[in-house]
Amino acid sequence: METIQHSGSLGARVGEKGVSFRVWAPKAHQIEVVFDNGKAEPLDRDSTGYYYGISAHARVETTYRYRLDGQQAFPDPCSRFQPQGPHGPSQIVDSSSYTWSDQTWPGVQMAGQVIYELHVGAFTKEGTFDAAIEQLDFLKRFGITLLELMPIAECSGRWNWGYDGVFLFAPSHRYGDHEAFKRFVDAAHQKSLGVIVNVFYDHVGPDGNYLPAYSDDYLTDRYPSEWGRAINLDGPGSDGMREFVVQNACYWIEEFHVDGLKVDATQSIHDASDHHILAELSTHARRVAGPRSIVTIAENESQDIRAVWPLEQGGGGASMPCGATISLT
């Protein structure tokens, strides 16, 4: 495996020289990428606990796991697709293979939007992105202008609200192939419908959560949480998790052309650092959006107004607060 600079996107990324891999795993002393054909290639480690390298042998659609210290192998925490679910191998996908047709889409602004909260699995009989595309005209006739998708990250179970997500970069394989969500967003934009996705950065689900195998610092017991261990955003070793969160927020905006994020349960996102994670992800998400307008909705049960204060005033920079999301039926 060729050595490369470790900075850049997390996960497996297809490039001109091959497929690059990058994972934060300071707990491990050695990591190998194990491919579906049984071959393995070692990764290099830097001083901050990131493992990285580039393989000239890996191919698009190849599945892989990371083997830690010559023992058990686990899926990639930043997997782009889990074709067999959260306990299966990760799959290499080419992010540049999809041809978009929304080049003139300007994005959305908050004023005047009629938002429909949509659960992909329950919205149609098939429960897929492609089936949902067939219903976009109905939603538009209904007066909807902005679709808010409940969490779509890979999680266990056939039916799930999505709040048990454990692979936050991987759209659920239950909803379609690795390009299905792109087709959905592209089709929505062709019909002048915006799309935002519900994300949560206060916890991860219990089943299929392999983060602790890579580092004890992804999660923390320093803060209470209703849904398991809290995300570590301000304690020792939190830099790796902060990068994980910021890259994830940017990933949905940049790669899937979504028009913003609904950040779930911000009252449970604990961050006592000088630069709150909400402000950081807002800044970077707006940067990667380029000329498109995007919105962020901060769900906050306690209605903490700081979530929507401007960034220059030390706030989170959200477009609007939300105490509860109402689903129209």
Residues with catalytic function: 264, 299
Tokens of 189: 């934009």
Q: How many CA atoms lie within 13 A of 120 on its CB side?
A: 28
In the chain, % helix, strand, coil (3-state, to 5) comes to 20, 25, 55
Other beta carbons less than 10 A from residue 59's beta carbon: 12
Task: Report the distance separating Cα 245 and Cα 99, nearest Å.
Answer: 27
Environment class of 21 (CB within 10 Å of its CB; exposed 0-12, middle 13-18, buried 19+): buried
Which amino acid is residue 101, in one-letter code?
A: S
Residue with tokens 């990639």: 76
